[in-house]
Structure 1
Amino acid sequence: MDRDVSGHLNAYSRAALVVRLPGDEADFNRPIGLFESSEYAVSHPRAKDQAAVSANSSNRVEPDGAVFNCGGHVATMDWAPSQPGAHTLHLAVAAHPKDRQQNVIGRALEGPALLQIWRIGTGPPSLALGLCLQGGLAWDCKWQPSQAPPASGLGLIAVAQGSGEVSLFDIPDPTEAILHPDKLRKGKGRADSLSGTDRLVDLPLCASAGAGAISGSLVGCLEWLPSTPHDLLLGGCWDGTIACWRVGALLASAGDLGSSAGPGQRSLQLLLHFPAADGPVRALAWAPAQLAGTTSDSAHRHLVAAVGHTTYLRVWDLRDSFRPALQVDLPQRWRFSVQWLHDPAGLLIAEDCGALRWTSLDPFFRRERMPANSLFEGNNSGPIWSTHMQPHGEQAFYAGDNGEVGMLHIARGDRYVSADAHHCLAGMRQEEGRLRVLSAAEMTRRNGLFGRKGGDPASLKPSEQAILSIRCSQSVRDPQAGIEYAWLAHGTAAGIVHILHVNV
């Protein structure tokens, strides 16, 4: 059955965004419309009269990066699980509709929205699927981790919608979805001439959990258990509570309180809901699976770090949720992102003052230097909105309000994290009505992130250049060049997502 998706399309701005990419001439503007993309290669500058090189051309220049327009404020992104060495990846992007660019947290929303699945790899980025939602917007989306990607489809994704519903969708292979639309409800509307609109689909739910089952709490962030069998899903709520569900096969009975599942799909069982903070929970992190001392040690399945609008850093043991297992007093600041590392053992936290905080969890190190904190501050005062560790790597990436993308190298075995390990990778600047993408070399000349001397004083930056979400893909080995690389995605408030080719 077809469904009219014109409301979902009209929810997003179709105005072309003007972008200047690295290698472009100073007076060259690139208009990028909704669901459109453009590549660039710094080593091969493109003149304004040069025709675009076809993705199928044999003389195609391998790009250093690309940008695409998703139509609204990029709230969150996540890479789908992939086969080792796969050169084509998929990125889920949650962009807020044009009428919901700014929202009151903790207030339920409704209305049409899209979860966009983009194909990244060979050729320019393209919209592979657009998943139609009715929950106003998506606060967060997370793919279920997988040791071995599913035999068919892209995998299972959890979405925290503005309505308070946590929804699970089994995302099909985009090629199969387009070739066999009879398997799903495919969208149609008055705007089918717009690029990518034939890829908008209305998938059946695998399972869902409403806010009513957790006393009306609205989920704002999600996190899957990183260790096998990846059967636990955490939700951090705007009222300071945390919920935990077990995801499994469909129960023979009617299901659990607050859970509904589609035919032949999965169950979503609420295990726990408890107060964890005195303000909104903005980010969660499970303990790494490597913390398990033996195969029978399951402590890592129960330890969770939570940060948000609170003065405390708290680590919770889900087996005893009446009090935190660890509580560290921190300055009065808001914290938006947290990464839990195994080696060295510690937490990397993004703060609203434009700083990164490293808190060591090594018990021997904490005896030497209490409270074992390192704080890295740059020249800019805007908040750092997002951090992400390269999967199985030693690079932590981060970005924030100043539009700058940084990398922090955290070597295994090191107890101290040095400010000298920071590097600037790229940047965004709002200049004369257009968004300019800056390369690492241009950022170095501008005294970018954590510049020591000569940097401009902190100033208020245009909101369009703010980078709100950053995610690094799994590494891919290039056998010809003998190097490993990854794709680093970061999304802006303007609606532009920048994909950067980085060596890891």
Structure 2
Amino acid sequence: MGTHLLVPAAGQNGMHFFSLQQPLCSDRASGLSRGSRTDTALGGGGRGGRGSMGRLHPPVVWEVWGGVEVCWGAASGGVGGLAEGRELAGANGMVPAFSCAQKSKPQCRGLAPNGFHNSIMAPVWKCPSITHSLRDRHYSPWEFPDWLPSTRKWTFLSESECAQYLPGEMKSPLFSIQREGIEEDGVLYRINRFNSLQPHEERLDVSFFVGGPVWAMEWCPCPEGSAAPQYVALYCNKGMDEKHSLAELHTGPALLQLWALGILQPEAGLAYAIAADHGCIWDMKFCPSGAWELPTTGRKPPQMSRLGLLAAAFSDGKVLVYSLPHPEGLLAHKRAQVQCIATLQVGSIQAGNSSECGQCFSLSWMPSKPHQHLAAGFYDGTVAIWNLPTKSLLQRVRQPDGSLKLYPFRCFLAHDHAVRSIEWCKVNSNFLVTAGNDRKIKFWDLRRLYEPINSIKRFLTTEITWLLPYNGVTVAQDNCYASYGLCGIHYIDAGYLGFKAYFVAPRKGTVWSISSSDWLNAVAAGDITGELLAAVLPDLAMNPLNIKRPSERRFPIYKADLVPCSSAGGEEEPRPKSRTYSEMTKEHCLRFQDTDLVQAAPLSPPSRVCVCGGGLSPCLTLLSRQVRFSPNLDSHGWLVSGGQSGIVRAHCLVGLTSPVGHKLLQECRAQFSAMYGDRPESPSASPAEHGLLQEQ
């Protein structure tokens, strides 16, 4: 059929994209040399393909993708759940035959270059067009025009002033990286605080040290095709062994860091950090769209071009919304004052005591334009929803410093205990899902809040994610209530289709974080054993009960282990029994074992399935606490993860990218260039020049 190569292609501004390229090859059956053939089907109608003979059906198109013959048919049905059927249609009105109700199985043969069977990769190939279509309808180019960053609201701190906000660890623990297929010399690395390693020339993975355990992390969204530098906002604890009370409100110094990853090729660096006095940060969320603008946008002083709107949940029970400027615009002004745009708290003007609901643990920004609602979950089980652009005198109070204090327009008791995670449905913003410490997952219709649509009591949920365009959520769980062999990642239907829970991947320990990619139809999860795993989901619009060999759908990204420094590159020895960070790192170091995610040769089946050696880790140093897929099309193959060690790593899942996504990216870039002209450039300032700023 032809040669299949996985090659880097240089993009604009030095950006590199990986795509599967091959020469178009002729089809043996039809003799067509353009890489496709068209058949006309007679008979076979309805759901099961049965019908009267002689009935003319829409043409079926066979295309060659990456050396794979894929069958396409005319759209005849919806994807099920809350998504609409027409969203599956591409530019030519055709959809893959595997998504139609007429076909129960994808007509794909052979293996893809990444080693997966083509039937596994089929849903991945259709995801870029579905996601792009839905974002065109539900995303906005510009929102919240009044919430612009101003130089009058930001100020730089001196070294003595910022000392109380900085993380305590000056250097990272010793660690080594063993990359599959590359002979390493067992080099041990130690990174200074707020510094990073040079990206690997072949694997492109990036590692940097933030100074403490990572507790919250989020990518900054940017428009499709903008080729803009990528940013990651995160929060880490000050001390490695620091603990926080869940039941009581507390304040204290906190540092919200914004890291510039550039175009994911140069060295990562700290762009700037915001110092706050509202306690630790449990969760943070960016406005999904309409908050980013070009760094070269002309603004009258004191206004600056806006990078994004970030909402952060603090341990004092408040939610603060920051209007973040582009780093280059901020560094041009040496005089500023950091001030949040709005402070969100429960209660009302006459009863504004935020201590009644306790701490805020989870946030979710409404995914559909105009993104005016923000939902938050609290310690006592309350869910509060704010209308951000409200003009109501009962919900909006102007503070003496010029910022806003907003009160929710809707509150309801969702759980009997703390709300651990909350997510909006990405297709219909009337639907919401919550997970609490009462071991329940509840689906809500915001138009009828007197009872949930569906309530499921299974296990203690740590995090949930709602993947486009399916009618359900992917759930990470704590293993304390799980039956033996059933701890791990599950997909749970919202109740609309009535499917049983689908077991995505088993895990040996508690899964602390889970993230999904709408562009790749995949999920990634980090657990307490130090393993980061990714799994390709099937087409969940159909009943996953009959999915065969689910183990072939998942693969490890890396595995972290704690070994004596003398054996960093050799045999694994028993882990220490100490539980404090200082005792762990005196004679031991971390060892990261990375999977080859860039290989062109197919993976052998044994290397696809991740097998963890040994039992549960007796220490928390290996814990992967935060995992996040990039939501941006320009970096949709990238995944960032961080944990208890304070080392944050970024990996590119090259094997899951497809020619369909690459073609869509080129089209979006051409459209963006036609609309806005020159593309944004990476910040020129070095990490050492970036300052620490304080919230007033």
TM over 0.5: yes
The percent of aligned pairs where both chains have the same amino acid is: 21
Report how far residue 428 of structure 1 moved: 1.8
Q: Which amino acid aligns with 2:364?
A: E
Residues 110, 162 of structure 1: 8 Å contact kept: yes
Gaps of 5+ in 2: 1-154, 295-304, 347-352, 480-486, 565-587, 598-602, 658-696
Counterpart of 2:642 in structure 1 is: 491
Query: Hey, what does 1:197 align to over in structure 2?
Result: none
Cα distance 1:490–1:179, how it changes in 2: closer, same or farther (>3 A)? same
Using a 3 Å threshold, how does the CA distance of structure 1 residues 160 and 260 change in structure 2: closer, same or farther? farther
Which residue in 2 is equivalent to 1:144?
A: 287
C-alpha change, 1:83 and 1:288, in structure 2 (3 Å) is closer
Distance 1:462 1:450 in 2: 25
Counterpart amino acid of residue 272 in structure 1:
R
CA distance in 1 between partners of 2:439 and 2:617 (Å) = 25
Residue 32 of structure 1: aligned partner: 191
SS of match in other structure, 1:32: coil
Counterpart among 184, 196, 207 of residue 342 in structure 2: 207
| More RCO (CA 8 Å, sep 6+) | 2
Contact 2:166–2:255 (CA under 8 A) maintained in structure 1:
no
Q: Report the TM-score, using the length of structure 2 for normalisation.
A: 0.58
Q: Look up the SS of the partner of 1:499 in the other structure.
A: strand
**1:180-195 equivalences in 2 (<5 Å):** 180-182=333-335, 184-185=336-337
Could you tell me whether the CA contact under 8 Å between 1:40 and 1:65 is conserved in 2? yes
Query: 2: distance between equivalents of 1:275 and 1:97?
Result: 33
1:226–1:419 distance in 2 versus 1, CA, 3 Å = farther
State the Cα deviation string for residues 363-414 of structure 1 (Å, max 9, x = none). Answer: 34x2xx5xx1123453x53111111111443111111111111112124444
1:112 equivalent among 253, 257, 265: 253
For residues 356 and 420 of structure 2, what CA distance do their matches in structure 1 show?
A: 19
Alpha-carbon distance in structure 1 between the residues aligned to 2:354 and 2:616: 44
Which of the residues 589, 596, 617 maps onto 1:434? 589
Distance 1:285 1:63 in 2: 33
**Counterpart AA for 2:193:** L
Alpha-carbon distance change, 488 to 356 in structure 1, aligned in 2, over 3 angstroms: same
Between 1:380-389 and 1:95-104, the stretch displaced more is 95-104
For 1:358, which of 491, 503, 512 is the aligned residue?
491
**Does the Cα contact within 8 Å between 1:406 and 1:449 map onto a contact in 2?**
no
Q: Which amino acid aligns with 1:90?
A: Y
Shift of residue 178, structure 1, vs aligned partner:
1.2
How far apart are residue 349 of structure 1 and its match? 0.5
Structure 1 residue 154 corresponds to structure 2 residue 302: no
* 2:465 aligned partner: 339
1:280 pairs with 2:431: no
Name the amino acid aligned to 1:29: L
Structure 2 counterpart of 1:67, one-letter code: S
Residue in 2 that maps onto 1:67: 207
Structure 1: distance between partners of 2:252 and 2:324: 22
* Correspondent of 1:301 among 429, 433, 445: 429
Selected match of 1:127 from 258, 266, 270: 270
User: By how many angstroms is 1:448 displaced?
Assistant: 8.8
Q: Which is greater in Rg?
A: 2
The DSSP-based 3-state class of the residue aligned with 2:474 is strand
Given that 2:291 and 2:309 are in contact with CA atoms closer than 8 Å, whether structure 1 keeps it comes out as: no
1:177 is paired with a residue whose SS is helix
Q: Counterpart of 2:502 in 1: which secondary structure?
A: strand
Equivalence for 2:175: 19
For residues 457-479 of structure 1, the C-alpha deviation after alignment (integer angstroms, 9 at most, x for no partner) is 532343111100111113556xx
SS in 1 for 2:198: strand
Cα distance in structure 2, aligned partners of 1:210 and 1:136: 15
Taking structure 1 as reference, are residues 262 and 465 closer, same or farther at Cα in structure 2, changes over 3 Å only? farther
Q: CA 1:493 to 1:475, structure 2 compared with 1: closer, same or farther past 3 Å?
A: same
> 2:219 is matched with which residue?
79
Counting strand residues as a fraction of each chain, which structure ranks higher? 1
Deviations 1:241-271 (A, max 9, x none): 211111116x485x637x6558666663411
Hey, what's the Cα distance between the residues in 2 that align with 1:387 and 1:262? 40
Q: How many residues align?
A: 437
Q: What secondary structure sits across from 1:357 in the alignment?
A: strand
Alpha-carbon separation, structure 2, partners of 1:79 and 1:262: 32
In 1, the alpha carbon distance for the partners of 2:448 and 2:555 equals 40
How far residue 165 of structure 1 moved from its aligned partner, in angstroms, is 1.5
**Residues 2 and 373 of structure 1, relative CA distance in 2, 3 Å threshold:** closer
**Structure-2 separation of matches of 1:158 and 1:472:** 18
- Over 3 Å counting, the alpha-carbon distance change for 1:30 and 1:225 in structure 2 is same
Kindly provide the amino acid, as one letter, of the partner of residue 238 in structure 1: Y
Mapped to 2, the partners of 1:448 and 1:138 lie a distance apart of 38
Matched-pair contact (CA < 8 Å) for 1:96–1:137 = yes
Match in the other structure for 2:45: none
More helix by share: 2
| Separation in structure 1 between the aligned mates of residue 478 and residue 270 of structure 2, nearest angstrom | 33
1:312 aligns with 440
**Aligned equivalents of 2:242 and 2:205: distance in 1?**
26
Kept in 2, the 8 Å contact 1:207–1:260? The answer is no
- In 1, distance between residues paired with 2:386 and 2:608? 39
Tell me the distance in 2 between the aligned counterparts of 1:82 and 1:496: 25
Q: Is the 8 A contact 2:198 2:267 kept in 1?
A: yes
Alpha-carbon contact 2:557-2:594 (below 8 Å) kept: yes
CA distance in 2, matches of 1:141, 1:37: 23
Aligned to 2:32: none
Question: What secondary structure does 1:109 align onto?
Answer: coil
Contact residue 169 and residue 212 of structure 2 kept, 8 A: yes
**1:314-334: per-residue Cα shift (whole Å, max 9, x none)?**
11222332321211232xx31
CA 1:261–1:397 in structure 2 vs 1: closer, same or farther (change >3 Å)? farther
Please report how far the alpha carbon of residue 279 of structure 1 lies from its aligned counterpart in structure 2 after TM superposition.
2.1
Q: Deviations over 1:439-494 (max 9, x none)?
A: 1159x99x899647xx53532343111100111113556xxxxxx75221001111
The TM-score with structure 1 as length reference comes to: 0.79
2:556 and 2:610 in contact (8 A); partners too: no
Shift in alpha-carbon separation, 1:142–1:148, aligned structure 2, 3 A: closer
Contact 2:416–2:438 (8 Å) recurs in 1? yes
The root-mean-square deviation of aligned C-alpha atoms, in Å, is 2.9
| Alignment partners' CA distance in 2, 1:273 and 1:400 | 33
2:165 is the counterpart of 1:6: no
